[in-house]
């Protein structure tokens, strides 16, 4: 074998060894990268596993829906970008069903939007641990804290049927905002002829039954039925207060 051949073989061997070394270095770097990512992913999974939300209360008005949402999980939720929260409302109008996805805005707008109104802890206004700055949209939504959001709709509606709320971490909570029935008592005071009765169906009832607890002189009836209340009327003033049992269904 000539000298040039020996040099060529040696050079080839050198390139081969260098390639193996580079391959080993590259793979070690890849392993280090993967092993550095895994703990973060595990922490993320643990966070999501312990994150839980619950819609606890709501109030529906003409063009505004107030919703209370409680962090009922074991982990705090960072509130540093409210625009990453998704809200979808399902509503009906003239017999048809629609959806709307309002955008977040702390400033009043001319379109459908939602904003963070208040924070509660143990039914008390405000929070002391990692307090949320509503104006700056910064802080932590800690376990057992409740936030109140206000949703303003440009669209008109007959009934708000349901809501979906998605946290910045992708945890989804949904709630039907209509009830099948509501009931209670209402009293017409002596000297008056009417009483307004509020119900929580959030829809105009399809059926309302009222029963007086005592005998009534002449007639009584219902009127002005809306998706939030109705009125019980008497035809004449009674000698005593009159209590009615009522039951309304959607």
Mean pLDDT computed over 68-94: 86
**Sign of torsion over alpha carbons 84, 122, 135, 112:** positive
Residue 32 pLDDT class (50, 70, 90 cuts): low
Spatial distance between the Cα atoms of 124 and 48, rounded to a whole number of angstroms: 27
Mean pLDDT computed over 125-139: 74
Of the listed ranges 27-41, 81-95, 165-179, 188-202, the least confidently predicted one is 27-41
Spatial distance between the Cα atoms of 214 and 217, rounded to a whole number of angstroms: 10
What the block records as the tokens of 20 is 């193996």
Question: Span 53-176: which CATH code?
Answer: 2.60.40
pLDDT given at position 89: 92
Say which DSSP state 48 is in: H
What pLDDT, in 10s, does the model give residues 198-238? 988 877 888 999 999 888 889 999 999 988 899 999 999 99
Mean pLDDT computed over 128-133: 76
The β-bridge relationship of strands 64-71 and 145-152 is antiparallel
Q: Where are the domains of the chain?
A: 1-50, 53-176, 181-249
- Quickly tell me which residue has 């017409």 as its tokens: 188
More confident residue, 94 or 220: 220
Whole-model pTM: value is: 0.60
Cβ count near 205 (within 10 Å): 20
Residue 149 pLDDT class (50, 70, 90 cuts): very high
Residue 192 has pLDDT above 90, yes or no: yes
What pLDDT, in 10s, does the model give residues 150-161? 999 888 888 888
Tell me which residue of 162, 164, 3, 171 sits closest to 73, measured CA to CA.
Answer: 171
Mean pLDDT computed over 4-24: 48
Mean pLDDT of the chain: 79
What the block records as the tokens of 163 is 């809501």
Residue 71 has pLDDT above 60, yes or no: yes
What pLDDT, in 10s, does the model give residues 101-111? 998 888 777 68
């Amino acid at each position: 074998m000539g000298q040039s051949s020996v040099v060529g073989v040696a050079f080839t061997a050198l390139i081969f060894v260098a390639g193996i070394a580079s391959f080993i270095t590259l793979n070690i770097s890849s392993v280090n990268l993967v092993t550095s990512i895994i703990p973060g992913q595990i922490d993320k999974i643990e966070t999501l596993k312990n994150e839980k939300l619950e819609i606890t209360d709501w109030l529906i008005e003409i063009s505004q829906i107030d919703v209370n949402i409680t962090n009922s999980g074991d982990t705090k939720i960072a509130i540093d970008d409210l625009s990453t929260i998704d809200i979808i409302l399902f509503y009906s109008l003239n017999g048809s069903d629609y959806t709307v996805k309002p955008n977040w805005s702390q400033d009043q707008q001319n379109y459908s939007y939602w904003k963070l109104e208040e924070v509660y802890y143990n039914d008390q206004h405000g929070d002391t641990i990692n307090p949320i700055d509503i104006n700056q949209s910064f802080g932590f939504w800690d376990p057992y804290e409740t936030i109140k959001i206000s949703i303003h709709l440009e669209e008109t509606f007959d009934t708000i049927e349901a809501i979906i709320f998605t946290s910045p971490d992708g945890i989804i909570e949904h709630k039907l905002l209509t009830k099948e029935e509501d009931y209670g008592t209402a009293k017409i005071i002596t000297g008056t002829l009417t009483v307004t009765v509020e119900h929580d169906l959030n829809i105009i009832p399809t059926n309302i039954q009222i029963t007086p607890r005592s005998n009534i002189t002449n007639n009584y009836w219902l009127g002005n039925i809306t998706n939030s209340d109705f009125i019980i009327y008497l035809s004449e003033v009674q000698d005593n207060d009159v209590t009615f049992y009522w039951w309304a269904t959607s």
